[in-house]
Amino acid sequence: MKQNASKAGGPNKLTKGLKNWNTFLVIVLVLEFVIFGAANERFLRIPLLLLSVNDFISICIISLFVTFVMITGGIDIQAGSIVGLTSIVIGVTWQDFGLPIWAAVALAVAVAALCGALSGFFIAYCRVQAMVITLGGSFLYSGIALLVSTLSSTESYQGISGFPDSFKFITSFKLFDLIPMQLVIFAVLVVIAYLLLHVSKYGRQVFLVGVNQDAAEFSGINSKLVILSTYVLSGISAAIAGIVLTSYLGTAKSDLGDTLTMNIITACVLGGTLSTGGKGSVIGTALASIIIGIMRFGMPLCFDVNTQYLDIPIGILLIVVVVGRAMVNKPRTAAILAGLKNKFTGAKA
The residues facing 180 across adjacent strands are 174
Our finding on whether 138 is near another protein (CB under 8 A) is yes
Task: Find the shortest distance in angstroms from Cβ 271 to another protein.
Answer: 13
**Identity of the residue numbered 261:** T
Our finding on whether 147 is near another protein (CB under 8 A) is yes
Region near another protein per CB under 8 A, out of 60-68, 185-193, 240-248, 337-345: 337-345
Q: Which residues contact 56 (CB under 8 A, 6 or more apart)?
A: 263, 289, 292, 293, 296, 297
Torsional class of 191: left (φ above 0), alpha (ψ -120 to 50), beta (otherwise): alpha
Q: Write out the binding residues for another protein, residues 214-233 only, by CB under 8 A.
A: 214-222
Q: Binding mask 168-207 vs another protein (x if CB under 8 A, - otherwise)?
A: ---------------------------x---xxxxxxx-x
User: Looking at 176, 306, 338, 342, which residue binds another protein (CB under 8 A)?
Assistant: 306
Our finding on whether 166 is near another protein (CB under 8 A) is no
| H helix or E strand, kind and range, residue 155 | none
Our finding on whether 20 is near another protein (CB under 8 A) is no
The angle formed by the CA atoms of residues 163, 169 and 173, to the nearest 5 degrees, is: 150
Q: Where are the alpha helices (DSSP H) in 223-332?
A: 223-249, 261-270, 282-303, 311-329
User: Looking at 30, 155, 309, 331, which residue binds another protein (CB under 8 A)?
Assistant: 309
Our finding on whether 68 is near another protein (CB under 8 A) is no
Task: Find the shortest distance in angstroms from Cβ 235 to another protein.
Answer: 15
Q: Binding mask 91-130 vs another protein (x if CB under 8 A, - otherwise)?
A: -------------------------------x---xxxx-
- Least Cα distance to 288 among 313, 306, 264, 262 occurs for 264
Our finding on whether 212 is near another protein (CB under 8 A) is yes
How far is residue 126 CA from its own chain's centroid? 25
CA distances from 318 to 58, 285, 302, 337 (A): 18, 13, 22, 18
Task: Find the shortest distance in angstroms from Cβ 281 to another protein.
Answer: 14
CA atoms within 13 A on the CB side of 317: 25
Q: Write out the binding residues for another protein, residues 261-280 only, by CB under 8 A.
A: 261-262, 265-266, 269, 274-276, 278-279
Cβ-based nearer residue to another protein, 149 or 171: 149
The β-bridge relationship of strands 174-175 and 160-161 is: unpaired
CA distance 247 to 172: 8
Our finding on whether 146 is near another protein (CB under 8 A) is yes
Cβ-based nearer residue to another protein, 170 or 318: 318
Task: Find the shortest distance in angstroms from Cβ 192 to another protein.
Answer: 13
Cβ-based nearer residue to another protein, 44 or 195: 195
- Least Cα distance to 90 among 185, 17, 160 occurs for 160
CA distance 100 to 277: 41
Region near another protein per CB under 8 A, out of 39-47, 53-61, 242-250, 317-325: 317-325
Region near another protein per CB under 8 A, out of 168-176, 232-240, 280-288, 338-346: 338-346
Task: Find the shortest distance in angstroms from Cβ 79 to another protein.
Answer: 14
